[in-house]
Amino acid sequence: MKHCVVTFLAFLGCAAAAQAVELHGKMIQGALMRGIVAPGSHVTVDGKELRLTPDGQFVFGIARDAGSDVDLVVTDPAGVIEELHLGITQRKWEVSRVDGLPEKTVTPDPATLEQIKKDSAAIHAARRQAGDETGFEEKFLPPVPALRVSESFGSQRILNGVANAPHIGIDLAVPTGTPVLAPASGKVILAAPDMVLTGGTVMIDHGYGVTSVYAHLSEISVKPGDVLGQGQEFAKSGMTGRATGPHLHWGVFWFETALDPGLLTPVP
Residues that bind Zn ion (CB under 5 A): 171, 249
Complex with Zn ion: residue 150 or 257, whichever CB lies closer = 150
CB-nearest residue to Zn ion:
249
Complex with Zn ion: residue 127 or 242, whichever CB lies closer = 242
Mind giving me the DSSP string for 102-142? -HHHHS--HHHHHHHHHHHHHHHHHHHT--S--GGGS----
Complex with Zn ion: residue 34 or 249, whichever CB lies closer = 249
Provide, rounded to whole angstroms, the least separation between the CB of residue 149 and Zn ion. 10
Provide, rounded to whole angstroms, the least separation between the CB of residue 151 and Zn ion. 6
Provide, rounded to whole angstroms, the least separation between the CB of residue 170 and Zn ion. 7
Provide, rounded to whole angstroms, the least separation between the CB of residue 23 and Zn ion. 29
β-pairing verdict for 48-50 and 21-24: unpaired
Complex with Zn ion: residue 236 or 249, whichever CB lies closer = 249
Beta bridge partners of 67: none
User: Using an 8 Å Cβ cutoff, are 101 and 160 in contact?
Assistant: yes
Alpha carbon separation from 48 to 145, 157, 218 (Å, rounded): 37, 31, 39
Complex with Zn ion: residue 19 or 244, whichever CB lies closer = 244
Provide, rounded to whole angstroms, the least separation between the CB of residue 176 and Zn ion. 15
User: Using an 8 Å Cβ cutoff, are 235 and 202 in contact?
Assistant: yes
Alpha carbon separation from 108 to 91, 99, 122, 158, 200 (Å, rounded): 32, 16, 19, 16, 19
How far is 245 from 169, CA to CA, in rounded Å? 16
Which amino acid does the sequence have at 262? G
